Structure 1
């Protein structure tokens, strides 16, 4: 593989590992290194960038923790730009998560309608069973790769006229903030291991029964819960990492 990489500039104030990380990140972002590309070994990267092994390892570790690379023991380091890494983080939307990882977010509305709240939805939103709720079912993607299917429920009373917006829903949180003055303050999430249903499998481009993360989120503002979302995320494109210490 022919690679044109400019060595780091030692006259610049930024740390060498940061310059190396940004150079590698740009190669991934601009498609020079697409999904699945195996990176040159550490020795060659050191020579191309003009840095030490300690410096290149720092840069690679940061990119791996950001979900852009994966290391396979005995094989090497590979690009994995279509992976979302979940862990300890702030309260963000899917759109924000994609942007933070340098991925182009995609969203397709599969269903947008009003329904009476089921017992589970009513309990999550702290409303009476049967009260009207808006259901938004969307296929979410990163860099044109299907990542998951999210189904959100909103109390109709909190979002009057939501069905009349008449525009694609990319960032739900941004729509709620700009149109209805609703800003999330806290959310509770539950992750469990599950499988992709026969209905969702064609949309996610996997076989029915493929492994998935099932994520439930209840999001609240000062007035209480305003969103209940159930997501099915592809197991090969979504992972959870935690940093533990004493």
Structure 2
């Protein structure tokens, strides 16, 4: 690949540098989160100033194609995981449909007293214990989502189930409970220390919080789910059609 700038070209140097780096990003050598050569090397190779190079890099960082880590370097951003609002599936099914192998980093099952939000959704008393399922999941390279699910006691889960299997398959095949409707809320927030430690980001880093309220065929609540996603690894796509 020709990686040089034509200094006689009237096209501004920073745009030429930007175009070259765009091509570099596509090179298999740098795909999947690999670090680019450092700024001094790149600027020297292209015979341009570091400020000109930074102009080009900043544009690509802004577009989400590069990720810059202070004191570490600049690397190619990994493709973000995408989730669509249409054709709702379980997380495992979503990832399988995209050919993404998912790793479970943590899995915890406990019985807890629900807080007011969960109790109000389930229309039960806070003294009534519910099953709480916590899962830290991601790709082989590292986690990108931390799930907390609460289940209505009516569902009949015991905590002994194999929760490495798709969740809604377990509900349907073992408990004869069919998850039919999902209502969701998406918001942006800063990671607190606990979530930051789980997702391996700095406290205060931007994350996406997806609240999912799941109902059965009779519109009865069965699951209250919180999903904390790394903002640099997840895109939520909404598809709408005008009729």
Change (3 A) 1:79 1:213: closer
Partner of residue 242, structure 1: 238
1:216 equivalenced with 2:211 (yes/no): yes
Kindly indicate whether the alpha-carbon contact (under 8 Å) linking 2:65 and 2:77 is maintained by their aligned counterparts in 1. no
Q: Which runs of 4 or more aligned residues in structure 1 lie more than 4 Å from their structure 2 counterparts after TM superposition?
A: 31-34, 70-73, 243-246
Partner of residue 164, structure 1: 160
Kindly indicate whether the alpha-carbon contact (under 8 Å) linking 2:215 and 2:221 is maintained by their aligned counterparts in 1. yes
Change (3 A) 1:198 1:182: same
The counterpart of 1:88, out of the listed 80, 85, 88, is: 85
Kindly indicate whether the alpha-carbon contact (under 8 Å) linking 1:137 and 1:150 is maintained by their aligned counterparts in 2. yes
CA RMSD, Structure 1 to Structure 2 (Å): 3.0
Change (3 A) 1:245 1:222: closer
Count of equivalent residues: 181
Partner of residue 12, structure 1: none
Query: Deviation at 1:134?
Result: 0.3
CA distance in 2, matches of 1:33, 1:120: 45
Partner of residue 14, structure 1: none
Partner of residue 151, structure 1: 148
Q: Structure 1: which 5+ residue stretches go unaligned?
A: 2-30, 39-69
CA distance in 2, matches of 1:72, 1:144: 18
Partner of residue 182, structure 2: 187
Give the TM-score normalised by the residue count of structure 1.
0.64
Change (3 A) 1:105 1:86: same
Which residues in structure 2 correspond to 1:98-113 (within 5 Å)?
Answer: 98-113=95-110
Structure with bigger gyration radius? 2
Post-superposition CA distance 1:2-31 (Å, at most 9, x none): xxxxxxxxxxxxxxxxxxxxxxxxxxxxx9
Give the TM-score normalised by the residue count of structure 2.
0.64
Change (3 A) 1:102 1:79: farther
Partner of residue 226, structure 1: 222
